[in-house]
Copies of this chain bind each other. A is one copy, B any other.
Amino acid sequence: MLDAAVAVFSQRGYHAASMDDIAERAGISKPMVYAYLGAKEDVFLACVQREATRLMEGIAGVIDPARRPHDQLCAGLRAYLTCVGEHRDGWSVLYRQARVQEPFAGELAEIRGRMIEAVTALLGGVLNAEGPEVPAAEVSAMAHALVGAGESLADWLVDHPDESPEATAARLMNFIWMGAANLLRGHTWRPASQPSP
């Protein structure tokens, strides 16, 4: 039933989606939707939470705290892009609509905040593993930039079905990590666990 709701919200948008549409898509009657999920806001919230959970768990499942932070980051990014690619509708509902649809923006901001926090922690772990301490604000800004870049590439991936999430993740890591300057010099960052594309 949530699948139907996610699909309808994704195709029509929150307001344009009617409870009739959702019920019809789910193959049940409208009062059942109300009985099981409640009012429209509740339905949307349930969608958001399920998709958020799916995404979070998809990422958490590939994170091995025992590995080096930058490996964790790379694996997480790959999982993120993969998950978004596999659940395009969910991504649409989660990020493209909930973020701008009151009263869900707050909920979404919190979810995104947790994601950024996680990235911040990993990034801090990487940067401070050696060398001089990098200010926390600096690390936080970098995490925001990294998450934004990931979101944008997720969109880009959706329009380029021939690109693999893995390759794209690697490309972003390359870009961010070694720096364009190094790219120019022909250097390439190569993760231990997989070949660069």
Contacts and interface: CB of A to CB of B under 8 A. Distances in A.
A173 B189 contact: yes
Task: Report whether over half of chain A's contact residues are helix, strand or loop; otherwise say mixed.
Answer: helix
Interface in A159-182: 160, 163-164, 166-168, 170-182
A163 to B, nearest CB: 8
Interface of A: 11-16, 67-68, 70-71, 74-75, 92-93, 96-97, 99-102, 123, 126-127, 129-132, 134, 137-138, 140-142, 144-153, 155-156, 160, 163-164, 166-168, 170-189, 191-194, 196-197
A183 B127 contact: yes
A142 B175 contact: yes
A142 B15 CA distance: 34
